[in-house]
């Protein structure tokens, strides 16, 4: 019998991507083929996002596209968008809504459906947000290990606690086993993910203990952290940043450089605390790359608060800034706040922050010229002597390098290469700058 085919559409955060990856791995393990989204398939999984009203719109449009593929295709919607809109989505009678808590059962559920065994009601009986099989290298060259779900912080702009629920931590032993399994299956890079990972806890132990145990897990791998909230970065964690298996990169969400705005956002740290923590990590960790998220045009933000943010971005020289013009999200506290900022001003401010980001990113990347980086190859392009690969360095910088054709690399994707950085190439009128290099010391690390 030909195997069944499934496709995916993922919106939103890295955790969603990690979860799709794991779900796809589950389908593969059950003998399913993975196809590109939009092709005729037996089932489509839309992993939607509801973080902003715009994310809602995109999720809805992905759903509609999925429903149009063929009228026989089974359409499943999951993720925060599904949780927030269950009743409306199920109204068409064709769509299955699988909440975040049951996401990990999607492969078994869909498989059971096609074998005529499906009883959706059964799903509601077991909830395990970490019940994913080990991810298979379906879309990515890195393994994602989910260690935490939900958030209790209650930021005033965020809908996530309402849809992902309260914070839950995956038991430490499970996390370490997942890291070891991923390393044993050949992954050279493992990423720990969660909605608010720094709040991971188990019996009085916090995230630093978890990270320490994962770094000391068996296997030949490097460890990366998905995006992190800056409110629980203790001395121990700062120390671990220079652990030999740790990648010198953090995506620490700053959101604003203004103390006033951070309070209105109900963030759990001050800009001053953020800055001193970053300076300390930089002091102790070589070639440390700091990336962040900034929201501009939060209600009540004036020129004064915005300039505090811009000044902080200039000072901290981020390796990259994801700039988000504040987007109103109904159901959040910020949506009903006074002092909403005009779209044109948000656009203007976003451009300023993006400009700062472009400059500091280039400066950071340039500082790596002449160094040797361990690059995990993700894509291979070209033929023969023009064959080259593109991948990410340990500090999360994209690097392009030629592959010596004398070496028949069986499988370049997912392999780690030692690459000497030779220069920087500007693209898109200087808006993007990419490092290029050459394979060093016969390549593999």
Partner 1 sequence: MVNSQKHRVLGLRAINSDAYVLRFERGNLDFEPGQYIHIGTLPGTEKREYTVYSSPREDYLEVLIRSAPSGNISQRLCQLKAGEEVSIEGPFGLFQLDSTALDSPLFFLGIGTGITPFHCFVQSYPNLNYKLIHGVCTVSECYEYEKYDKNRLLSCISREEGGSCHDGVSDWLRNNPIPHNAMVYLCGSSAMIYDVYEILGEQKFDTDRILVEVYY
- Site residues for partner 1 per CB under 8 A: 83-84, 86, 99-100, 152-154, 156, 161-166, 259-260, 263-264, 266, 268, 270, 272-273, 331, 333
Beta bridge partners of 96: 76
Adjacent-strand bridge partners of 6: 34, 43
Helices and strands in the chain: count of H runs, count of E runs: 14, 17
List C-alpha distances in Å: 374 to 156, 220, 288, 337: 40, 13, 14, 47
Residue nearest to ligand FAD (CB): 336
Closer CB to ligand FAD, 140 or 164, in the complex: 164
Q: What is the three-class DSSP state of 346?
A: helix
Restricting to residues 128-187, which ones interact with ligand FAD according to CB under 6 A? 154
Q: Taking CB within 5 to 8 Å according to partner kind, which of partner 1, ligand FAD, none is near residue 273?
A: partner 1
Count the neighbouring beta carbons within 10 Å of the beta carbon of residue 181.
Answer: 18
Residue nearer to ligand FAD on the CB measure, 53 or 152 = 152
Smallest gap from residue 336 Cβ to ligand FAD (A): 6
What's the min distance (Å) between Cβ of 229 and ligand FAD?
17
Contact set for ligand FAD, span 346-385 (CB under 6 A): none
- The binder of 437, among partner 1, ligand FAD, none, by C-beta within 5 to 8 A per type, is none
The secondary structure of 240-309 as a DSSP string is: HTTSTTB-SEEEB--B-S-HHHHHHTT-SS-HHHHHHHHHHHHHHSTT-EEEEEEEES-TT--HHHHHHH
Pairing of strands 372-381, 320-325: unpaired
Tell the smallest beta-carbon distance from residue 384 to partner 1 (Å).
54
Nearer to partner 1, 273 or 307 (CB): 273
Binders of ligand FAD in range 92-131 (CB under 6 A): none
Question: Which of ligand FAD, partner 1, none is residue 163 near (CB under 5 to 8 Å by kind)?
Answer: partner 1
Count of residues engaged in binding ligand FAD, rule: CB under 6 A:
2
Burial class (CB in 10 A: 0-12, 13-18, 19+), 44: buried
**β-strands 289-296, 320-325 pairing:** parallel
What distance in Å separates the CA atoms of residue 21 and residue 132, rounded to the nearest whole number?
10
The nearer residue to ligand FAD, 219 or 300, going by C-beta atoms, is: 300
- Closest approach, Cβ 263 to partner 1, in A, equals 4
Cα–Cα distance for residue pair 44/33, rounded to 1 Å? 12
Using the minimum distance from each CB to ligand FAD, give the nearer residue, 336 or 432.
336
| Nearer to partner 1 among residue 78 and residue 395 (C-beta) | 78
| Contact call for residues 194 and 224 (beta carbons, < 8 A) | no
CB of 199 to ligand FAD, least distance (A): 16
Q: Does 336 participate in binding ligand FAD (rule CB under 6 A)?
A: yes
- C-beta closer to ligand FAD: residue 109 or 151: 151
Residues engaged in binding ligand FAD (CB under 6 A)? 154, 336
């Amino acid at each position: 019998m030909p195997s069944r085919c499934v496709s995916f559409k993922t919106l939103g955060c890295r955790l969603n991507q990690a979860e799709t990856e794991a779900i796809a791995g589950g389908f593969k393990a059950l003998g399913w083929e993975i196809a590109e989204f939009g092709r005729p398939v037996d089932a489509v999984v839309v992993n939607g996002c509801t973080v902003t009203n715009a994310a809602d719109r995109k999720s809805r449009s992905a759903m509609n596209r999925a429903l149009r593929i063929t009228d026989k295709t089974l359409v499943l919607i999951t993720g925060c968008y599904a949780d927030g809109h269950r009743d409306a989505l199920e109204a068409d009678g064709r769509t299955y809504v699988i909440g975040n808590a049951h996401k990990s059962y999607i492969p078994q559920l869909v498989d059971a459906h096609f074998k005529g065994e499906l009883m959706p009601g059964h799903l509601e009986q077991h909830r395990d947000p970490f019940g994913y099989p080990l991810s298979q290298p379906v879309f990515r060259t890195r393994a994602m290990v989910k260690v935490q779900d939900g958030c209790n912080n209650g930021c005033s702009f965020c809908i996530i606690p309402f849809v992902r629920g309260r914070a839950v931590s995956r038991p430490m032993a499970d996390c370490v086993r997942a890291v070891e399994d991923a390393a044993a299956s050949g992954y050279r890079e493992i990423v720990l993910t969660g909605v608010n990972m720094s709040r991971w806890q188990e019996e009085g132990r916090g995230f630093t203990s978890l990270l320490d145990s994962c770094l000391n897990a068996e296997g030949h791998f490097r460890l990366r952290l998905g995006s992190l909230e800056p409110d629980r970065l203790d001395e121990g964690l700062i120390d671990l940043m220079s652990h030999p298996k740790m990648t010198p990169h953090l995506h620490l969400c700053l959101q604003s450089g203004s103390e006033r705005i951070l309070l209105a956002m109900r963030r759990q740290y001050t800009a001053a605390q953020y800055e001193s923590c970053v300076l300390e990590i930089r002091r102790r960790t070589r070639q440390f790359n700091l990336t962040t998220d900034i929201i501009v045009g939060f209600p009540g933000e004036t020129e004064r608060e915005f300039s505090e943010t811009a000044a902080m971005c200039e000072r901290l020289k981020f390796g990259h800034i994801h700039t988000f013009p504040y987007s109103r999200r109904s159901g959040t506290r910020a949506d009903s706040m006074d002092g909403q900022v005009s779209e044109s001003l948000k656009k203007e401010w976003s451009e300023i922050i993006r400009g700062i980001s472009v400059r500091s990113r280039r400066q950071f990347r340039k500082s790596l010229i002449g160094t040797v980086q361990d690059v995990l190859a993700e894509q291979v392009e070209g033929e023969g002597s023009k064959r080259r690969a593109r991948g990410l360095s340990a500090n999360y910088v994209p690097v392009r390098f030629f592959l010596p054709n004398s070496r028949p690399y069986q499988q370049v994707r997912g392999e780690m290469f030692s690459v000497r950085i030779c220069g920087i190439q500007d693209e898109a009128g200087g808006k993007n700058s990419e490092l290029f290099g050459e394979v060093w010391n016969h390549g593999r690390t």
